[in-house]
Structure 1
Amino acid sequence: MCGTSRFVVQLIVILYTAMEVCSKFEFTNIQCTSLDKEFDDIEYCYIKSVNRSYKYISIKVKLFKTPVTKVNAALYQRLNGYKPFLYNITLDACKFLRNTDRNPVAKYIYELFNGHSNMNHTCPFDHDIILEKLPSNFLNTRLTDVLPFPEADYLLETHWYAYNVNRAVIKVYGTLS
């Protein structure tokens, strides 16, 4: 192969590689707040960074009373502060868990974490709620291949209600770059 054709092949490989877009989701912060200590308490809520490429979140909420009946989930994108982005849904948790196909947006959000949680059955929840070791690389596929999101900083804010009273707020911050 002469020098010119080798250069052209190398240039094509470089251009092809540069055109491939690889997005990556990463957790940046998590905040869990119990608004009624007689109803629930947050035992732990953290991001664990095992190494540069593997991070996960874990949450454990101790329930002293049941049931959680309503959940509100809102997605925000950071643009001069966090602004509403695409989704803000409120639903009856027990009805949704009986038939997750009734609300495709809620199902998409639910599928982001249900495999790493003990919230994978219908009501009643008469036990602690645990989300254990949800890795950011699991969310990479959901947020880049299944339903592509633009690169930005995001906040998923959830409010957990019982008897129409807000009992807990969980905020998960992440960046898609």
Structure 2
Amino acid sequence: MLALLFFTLLVLTSTEVEAKFKSLHCAAFDQDFGEFLLCKLKAISRLRNSISVQYKLKQPVSKIFIRLEFFKRANGWRPFLYNFTANLCDFLARNNNVIMGIGYAYLRPYLVKNYSCPFKVIENELLECKDFELDINNLRNRFPIETGEYALQLTFIAKNKAALTINGSIEYNNYREY
């Protein structure tokens, strides 16, 4: 009986959930607005990786919108859960969007500094997210998702046109589901 209990605890506490980034693509559409200096997916181990992004702003920005789109791969990429546009400056000032608030709280430890609007052009200062690792257990506490491949596209819109996009995908496996 003790052996059965020990075996059950071992199976339940073993690594059954695996998630890691599959891809990362950054594109700056307006080179006068700014440019990506770094857009990198870095392997930490076979099961873990991280993302680092650096963007150098060339113009001050007082009003910027962010379009957030989630996708799930199922016979091609299909829209999944959320697809909305919000004023990033309003959010940074008032924290007035629940979904963006959850994402920002999750991302905040990896941001080099706290950002606020207006974004000013300061020499040698970058908008930077450094060594962002996916914590799937923290993510699943708020968004229960099934096994599969998911993607996120962030489009930053300034002066009524897309200035830059960041696209990334993750692959998620929950071995308890099988």
- TM-score range (shorter-chain normalised) is 0.7 to 0.9
CA distance in 2, matches of 1:144, 1:12: 27
Percentage identity across paired residues of the two chains: 22
Q: Is the 8 A contact 1:25 1:143 kept in 2?
A: no
1:89 paired with 2:89, answer no
- Structure 1 unpaired stretches of 5+: 1-7
TM-score scaled by length of structure 1:
0.84
Q: How many residues align?
A: 167
1:96-140 deviation per Cα after TM superposition (whole angstroms, max 9, x unaligned) = 11121x21111112223122114633211225211111112xx32
TM-score scaled by length of structure 2:
0.83
Which residue does the alignment assign to 2:105?
111
Which residue does the alignment assign to 2:119?
125
Which residue does the alignment assign to 2:146?
150
SS of the equivalent of 2:141 reads helix
- Structure 2 unpaired stretches of 5+: 174-178
> How far has the Cα of 1:66 moved from its partner?
2.5
Distance 1:44-1:121 versus aligned 2 partners, 3 A rule = closer
Which amino acid in structure 2 is aligned with residue 65 of structure 1? Q
CA distance in 1, matches of 2:88, 2:113: 10
Q: Is the 8 A contact 2:18 2:47 kept in 1?
A: no
SS of the equivalent of 2:130 reads strand
RMSD: 2.1
CA distance in 2, matches of 1:49, 1:161: 30
Runs of 4+ in 1 over 3 A off after TM superposition: 8-22
